[in-house]
Structure 1
Amino acid sequence: MKITKYLAILLMGGSMVSCGEDFLNDMDSSTVTPDQINDQANKDPDKVLSSQLKGCYTSWNIRTGISSNDINGHMSVGFGGIMTLSDVMSNDISLALGSGDPWHFDHVLDYNAEQYVRARWPWNFFYSLIKSANELIDVVDEDKANETIRHMLGQAYAFRGIGHAYLAQFYQKTYIDSKDLPCVPLRLSKKETSITGRASVEKVYEQIEADLLKAIDYLDGFRHTDKQSINKSVAQGLLSRVYLVMNRWADAAAMAHDARQDYFLNDLQEATEWNYQDVDNHEVMWGFIPTESTTRIFASWASWHSTDGPGYAGVGGGAFQLIDAALYNSIPHNDVRKQLFVAPGQTVPVGNNEIPEYANLKFPFVSQWLGQVVYMRASEMYLNEAEGLLMSGNAPGAADVMKEFMTNRVENWTAPAAWTQADIYNQRRIELWGEGFSYFDHCRLKQDMVRSYEGTNEPLSTQVNIPYSSYL
């Protein structure tokens, strides 16, 4: 059954989102009620809006999409959980435990059917985020807003825009060839108390673009100090992602180029030595830095990615997430990124345990479960720009961008005679492995799921091939 059918169930239910109770008692919700906003906005707007914006970040970073203190709740925390969901629903990751893995049903796309709780997760997560953003947007007179308030508005518009963008990608086919199909409801005000129906794909993307363009405008001059908030570069990066989905290639390239100007690539050594959970790296544009009070322990990003740690997907739980064998084999031996995975036939000892072959070494465990979550980095922007340039007819420009990128990833790199979109896509799969892009790239590029092939490292229970046409 198709995930789009789930929309009918939600819409008939008459409720846009059920927030529920947070699955951990110490979850700190910094959002304020609409009545509090209205009462206090005229007295101290900066303070009130700052509190509401903090609530948006709380939702993005640590809100659970499924309100239960069990394995399902532990899988669905923050946008990091959405990123993991995207990756396990792709060709790029193999699950060591096969049908015994907590992500098994996601991996074989069985949870896409409307009767399963997982189909509700992205819906609840992103509409909760949009609701928080609207509560801030609704109380501001934008024509009279000072610079500080404009910067807060810019972040709220970015959240609303990207929230609708991910909803559109989860609950309808990709933009191209689907513009007239019903997509998701647009929620543009906290004052909307009833569901007005599903907007078309084209209408949803028009609103997404408008929100992100407004975010870029309002964030001009805003400087974040610790990369935990959305600045202009991040908003440009988000819009670049959207333009790739829309096949607006030149616009995607231009946005990505502008977004990466204040950042630079890791070199060959840094690409293997950097812990990809470290937001302080000069490639990182946006991320989440948990503290002892906000880390979610087994419900954290680290629990599902640090193979040397005590979490579910580490030596403690054994639910290792492995790189697909075919993808691993596509990485040349002189590509330093191959060192981020355990080679076939080898293991890595950790105490009395071992990390198995093909497991990632990309996200080493950080003491006290304080591994950080990277949402955006400059390397993605290089790849977005190169794909956009190539597909808009500027092959030489794409080659120049890829040369700068590849010389920082492959020793003694030799340029190919020509780049193809498939070549750049393969570089995305290698570079951004485990960072939440895989399923969305599958959908926009209409890639089939191929897990049954000679030499596969998929367990027998998940050796399935799924055509793109049956994703949604």
Structure 2
Amino acid sequence: MKKLLMILSTCALLSSCSNKLDVAPPNSITDEQIQALLAQGDAATIQSVLGSIANNMPLVLNSAATGLSGSDARYSNIQGLLAMRNLEGNDLVFGNRNLTIFGADEYRFLDFTSPEVDKNYGYWNYAWNLITASNKLLNYLDDATVGNNVKLKDFKARGLTLRAYAYQFLMENYQDAYLQGGKAKLGMPLYDFYSPVQPSKARATAVETYNFINNDLNMAYQLFSDAGVGFTANVSDFDLSVVTFLQTKVAVATGEWATAINKSTELLGKYPTLMSQAVYGGKNTGTATAPEFKADQNGFINNAVNPEVILGYPVGQAGTNHNYWLNPFAEGNGGLGEGYARIDNRLWDKISTSDYRKDAFIASAFGDYAYPTTGAVRNIPAQTNLKFAATHGIGSTDKKDVNNRVSCFYMRASEVLLMKAEAQAQTGDANAAKNTLNVLLAARTKSGEAPLTCDTYPSMAGLTPLQMVQLQTRIELWGEGGRDFYNNKRWNTPVDRRNSTNHIDKSTYPVANMTLKIPQDEMLYNDKIVQN
């Protein structure tokens, strides 16, 4: 494996232990001595020894480096990586004219899969940095050390959750979809221990890789349960909610439909309330010439008003690159740079006029808007999203704060509901799938109108239950986490923009070309690796 090192607070860890052990200097403390201390220590000792590393597990998912310059808003962090995936699909239009800014190459499908291109290896580096971080923690937490200690069970569950997430991310990007031929192909090298000098490994099979992921998730679920860490209200930490979301996602990816239904049902029972019309996207509380879209009341920017968030981060911890790419009023490429994130007219036309999600996009040109830092004026075009719109940051009256005073999320309840409906449709239970979708449709019906259903939603007439799920997934998850790209790959749906009236680039792109090649550095330094 390529030796990707995640810098952790090892020195602080060792210094905090030094007064517990009769050794000097602190850096001479061995792993065995640390494990003995953990096995014998009380909660305060355990927290001082491993607390900072364990607490970092959920944070590193949001902030891990990719090996590219931090000034590259595309590939230096996970939100940039996922924003690029948004551009490589059917449903998001990039601006209203040909652009040469960052993102333009991705939108035009310039090579992003070859082993040597910089558009590839950020995804690889990000995931392996997460695996390195998790294995550094797990090194100290073998079964004998953990024993019946609830704090150590909690810590171990965090490491397992992060590792499972990272391996699933690798499989999404570096192998064909499991149900589209990927099951018979290779997966990833499986590392369950960290050492800077450990030998490289060959790729396991895809089946073995998903078994590894599921084993990590099942163990994390049991450990969190044993530790009393359930479905907590803290959306910024790992708990049973995050594990159950990942179990559902993996089950859908691998066609384990019964598991997907059971796990999604369990999780939805803890998240019974979906977002309301009042917080679904930005709302102009100002005027046409002096617009005010307050982030405080947009559930896609402010987690505090979004009851669906399963995993997300507050102002100060949140990544801001999604805002950079998706908020038309921010001073990033999705706003000031004129790479406005717009909805494909073909999907827009399929949203019912009784569905308030249609109001998350502007029907006609918004007009001129002056960006606060320089006063530069841009004309915001029709079909630009208001889903992620804010002119002000959270808790601020200064428009300049719109660039960084935002929260972010990676998992939410509506996606769980859609995964459940998909699993039900895949099993042939049409009534169950439609009943599940009806919950979402009723929640997305405009106030004062009759609740929408699968039978009354105009654009769903004549569709199979699975096609209904796919359409509603595209509408509900538009612009979120590259879901359009990953679902196209999973559903074997090629990109075809030819008959779109507002796509600037009219490309087609086959599913066969959506799988990334193993990066060149890995091929050079791991003599056991083989290419896709």
Cα distance, 1:199 vs structure 2? 1.0
Cα distance, 1:169 vs structure 2? 1.4
CA pair 300-414 structure 1, distance change in 2 beyond 3 A: closer
CA contact (8 A) 1:383 1:402 kept: yes
CA distance in 1 between counterparts of 2:5 and 2:506 reads: 36
Confirm whether residue 86 of structure 1 aligns to residue 77 of structure 2. no
Cα distance, 1:45 vs structure 2? 2.6
CA pair 140-79 structure 1, distance change in 2 beyond 3 A: same
CA pair 104-19 structure 1, distance change in 2 beyond 3 A: farther
Match of 2:301 among 257, 274, 277: 277
CA distance in 2 between counterparts of 1:349 and 1:213 reads: 52
Cα distance, 1:83 vs structure 2? 2.4
Q: Residue by residue, what CA displacement relative to the aligned partner does 1:129-174 show, whole Å, maximum 9, x if unpaired? A: 0111111112113351411221222121111111101101111111
Partner of 2:2: 16
SS in 1 for 2:184: coil
Confirm whether residue 364 of structure 1 aligns to residue 389 of structure 2. yes
Cα distance, 1:57 vs structure 2? 3.2
With 360-369 and 233-242 compared, the bigger mean Cα shift is at 360-369
CA distance in 2 between counterparts of 1:261 and 1:155 reads: 23
CA pair 162-207 structure 1, distance change in 2 beyond 3 A: same
Partner of 1:259: 267
Match of 2:215 among 195, 203, 210: 210
Match of 1:470 among 502, 508, 513: 513
Confirm whether residue 425 of structure 1 aligns to residue 470 of structure 2. yes
Cα distance, 1:471 vs structure 2? 2.3
CA distance in 2 between counterparts of 1:121 and 1:217 reads: 32
CA pair 32-430 structure 1, distance change in 2 beyond 3 A: farther
Confirm whether residue 32 of structure 1 aligns to residue 78 of structure 2. no
CA contact (8 A) 1:279 1:374 kept: yes
Partner of 1:335: 355
Aligned length: 439
Partner of 2:49: 48
CA distance in 2 between counterparts of 1:275 and 1:303 reads: 17
CA distance in 2 between counterparts of 1:67 and 1:86 reads: 17
Structure 1 unmatched runs, 5+: 1-14, 21-28
CA contact (8 A) 1:63 1:78 kept: yes
Confirm whether residue 184 of structure 1 aligns to residue 193 of structure 2. no
SS in 2 for 1:353: strand
Moved over 6 A (4+): none
CA contact (8 A) 2:164 2:216 kept: yes
With 144-153 and 118-127 compared, the bigger mean Cα shift is at 144-153
Confirm whether residue 382 of structure 1 aligns to residue 417 of structure 2. yes
With 372-381 and 272-281 compared, the bigger mean Cα shift is at 272-281
CA contact (8 A) 1:347 1:356 kept: yes
CA contact (8 A) 2:275 2:299 kept: no
CA distance in 1 between counterparts of 2:201 and 2:80 reads: 29
State the TM-score, normalized to the length of structure 2. Answer: 0.77
CA contact (8 A) 1:150 1:218 kept: yes
CA distance in 2 between counterparts of 1:403 and 1:179 reads: 32
What letter matches 1:335 in structure 2?
A: D
Cα distance, 1:116 vs structure 2? 0.6
CA pair 145-138 structure 1, distance change in 2 beyond 3 A: farther
Confirm whether residue 441 of structure 1 aligns to residue 518 of structure 2. no
Partner of 1:9: none
CA contact (8 A) 2:4 2:128 kept: no
CA pair 373-86 structure 1, distance change in 2 beyond 3 A: same
CA contact (8 A) 2:189 2:203 kept: yes
CA contact (8 A) 2:65 2:129 kept: no
Partner of 1:303: 324
CA pair 240-348 structure 1, distance change in 2 beyond 3 A: farther
CA distance in 1 between counterparts of 2:429 and 2:332 reads: 45
Match of 1:346 among 365, 374, 384: 365
CA pair 118-409 structure 1, distance change in 2 beyond 3 A: same
State the TM-score, normalized to the length of structure 1. Answer: 0.86
Confirm whether residue 451 of structure 1 aligns to residue 497 of structure 2. yes
Identity among equivalent pairs (%): 22
CA pair 69-134 structure 1, distance change in 2 beyond 3 A: closer
CA distance in 2 between counterparts of 1:55 and 1:354 reads: 42
CA distance in 1 between counterparts of 2:512 and 2:194 reads: 36
With 119-128 and 434-443 compared, the bigger mean Cα shift is at 434-443
CA distance in 2 between counterparts of 1:471 and 1:282 reads: 33
SS in 1 for 2:492: coil
CA contact (8 A) 1:80 1:373 kept: no
Confirm whether residue 167 of structure 1 aligns to residue 170 of structure 2. yes
CA distance in 2 between counterparts of 1:433 and 1:31 reads: 38
CA distance in 1 between counterparts of 2:10 and 2:496 reads: 46
Equivalent residues in 2 for 1:85-124, closer than 5 Å? 85-96=84-95, 98-107=98-107, 108=109, 110-124=111-125
CA distance in 2 between counterparts of 1:329 and 1:304 reads: 24
CA distance in 2 between counterparts of 1:196 and 1:346 reads: 54
SS in 1 for 2:132: helix
SS in 2 for 1:441: helix
SS in 2 for 1:215: helix
Cα distance, 1:428 vs structure 2? 0.8
Equivalent residues in 2 for 1:406-425, closer than 5 Å? 406-411=441-446, 412=450, 413-416=452-455, 419-425=464-470
Q: Residue by residue, what CA displacement relative to the aligned partner does 1:340-370 show, whole Å, maximum 9, x if unpaired? A: 1121x32254334332212111113352312
CA distance in 2 between counterparts of 1:34 and 1:18 reads: 21
What letter matches 1:209 in structure 2?
A: N
Partner of 1:324: 344
What letter matches 2:258 in structure 1?
A: A
CA distance in 2 between counterparts of 1:447 and 1:387 reads: 15
What letter matches 1:232 in structure 2?
A: L
Cα distance, 1:286 vs structure 2? 1.1
CA distance in 1 between counterparts of 2:9 and 2:83 reads: 26
CA contact (8 A) 2:76 2:122 kept: no
Aligned-residue Cα RMSD (Å) equals 2.4
Q: Residue by residue, what CA displacement relative to the aligned partner does 1:85-119 show, whole Å, maximum 9, x if unpaired? A: 32222112111154513122323152111221121
Q: Residue by residue, what CA displacement relative to the aligned partner does 1:249-283 show, whole Å, maximum 9, x if unpaired? A: 12112111111222121234443563302222211
SS in 2 for 1:375: strand
